[in-house]
Amino acid sequence: MVSQVKSITNILEQVENEWELSESDAMLLLSQKDETIINKIRQSADNLRQKQVGNTVTYIINRNINFTNICEQHCNFCAFRRDPEQDGAFWLSIEQIIEKATEAVKKGATEICMQGGLNPQAKLEGSSLKYYQQLIRTIKETFPQLHLHAFSPQEIQFIAREDKLTYIDVILGLKKAGLGSMPGTAAEVLDDTVRRIICPEKINSQTWLEIVSLAHRLGLYTTSTMLCGHIETAEQQIKHLSQIRNLQKTAINHNYPGKITEFILLPFVGKDAPKALKNRVQREQPSLQDTLLLTAVSRLFLGKWIGNHQPSWVKLGLNGAVEALKWGCNDLGGTLMEEHITTMAGATGGTCMDVKTLQQAIASLKRPYQERNTIYGISQS
């Protein structure tokens, strides 16, 4: 025990001095159960956060628009998807999307985050790409100042498959229409044995990595995420972080015009998720304590490569997200204005947040707050 405390202290000192954390050391940190040691890990992640990005906690005024929940896939954690004729299926018209964007602009939004189900009927003149371009142009022509943060790597692959195009054609086609950046969602856990169980029809890990790297190469910023706390092991969590770190190294070392702006940990919410997965994990959500330790280890492991870390207030609740700001996070995310995907799975964190509430939550930690744009003030090429 004494020698383990010593070796953990050494590891933490090295990481704070910006040595790169190895996978085996990250595993050792993640396996700790002793409260005193866990608190040391938390303190180290907090120190590294302060050293890398300072004390200010950022947030963004944005709106989520899920344009349809009709989806051809059946992910085992998803309570959002519907078949076309099923109760509760929706597919927003262009007018409804503009109405939502107008409301968002009135409330000061600088970003629209748009994602949807994989709906093979969503085509314009027989082309999926044209339909997705129309979604972007509709918003950009009315509100050119809005940043469009939209379409996961899974949606990129879906459009490419439907239209028999390359990923490059799709990404460039969307960028030309006005796409500003892409969410790094649909990553779940980048391990195909896990993916075959939780999202068997989704793109595999390699395809996800390929599409995100292409987006960086073609000049788009992306976020990065991990859906944690279901069937995956600690080793699979660290392997996931390792692949995200390598992806960012590639973007930076090759001077790509895009890169990863932030890492967002998304703890599994299973209350109303399909039974197949819920029965398998035997719990509705991972414990807050496990999520916070993984939050701290993520900051330490991603190190200098990814400076911005965001907890999900939708999944953790606002109090949990504020707590995560002491475990290495520096951003409280967006106002969202409407959140469906996690809320339909049973999350109780809420579907929208007003700016005052986010500011007061940050101020409760005696840390300054600041509104940011989608790419954290990084100038876009």
**Closest to 48 in 3D by CA, of 70, 29, 73, 74:** 29
Q: In degrees rounded to 5, what are phi and psi of residue 68?
A: -155, 150
Q: Find the shortest distance in angstroms from Cβ 78 to ligand SF4.
A: 3
Site for ligand SF4 in 25-54 (CB under 6 A): none
Q: In degrees rounded to 5, what are phi and psi of residue 70?
A: -75, 125
> Is residue 183 near ligand SF4 by the rule CB under 6 A?
no
Contact letters for ligand SF4, residues 144-173 (x by CB under 6 A): ----------x-------------------
Contact letters for ligand SF4, residues 186-205 (x by CB under 6 A): -------------x------
**Closest to 226 in 3D by CA, of 274, 194, 258:** 194
Site for ligand SF4 in 227-266 (CB under 6 A): none
**Rounded to whole angstroms, how far apart are CA atoms 151 and 336?**
16
CA distances from 77 to 13, 82, 157 (A): 38, 13, 20
Applying CB under 6 A, the span of 49-57, 67-75, 173-181, 300-308 interacting with ligand SF4 comes to: 67-75
Q: Find the shortest distance in angstroms from Cβ 158 to ligand SF4.
A: 8
Applying CB under 6 A, the span of 3-11, 74-82, 249-257, 259-267 interacting with ligand SF4 comes to: 74-82
> Is residue 81 near ligand SF4 by the rule CB under 6 A?
yes
Residue 381's Cβ-count burial label (10 Å; 0-12, 13-18, 19+) is exposed
Contact letters for ligand SF4, residues 93-122 (x by CB under 6 A): ------------------------xx----
**Which of left, alpha, beta for 39 (phi over 0: left; psi -120 to 50: alpha)?**
alpha
> Is residue 66 near ligand SF4 by the rule CB under 6 A?
no
Cα angle: 262, vertex 296, 333; to 5 degrees: 35
Identify the three-state secondary structure at position 256: coil
Contact (CB, 8 A) for 167 and 160: yes
> Is residue 80 near ligand SF4 by the rule CB under 6 A?
yes
> Is residue 207 near ligand SF4 by the rule CB under 6 A?
no
In terms of CB distance, is 21 or 344 closer to ligand SF4? 344
- Applying CB under 6 A, the residues found at the interface with ligand SF4 are 71, 73-75, 78, 80-81, 117-118, 154, 199
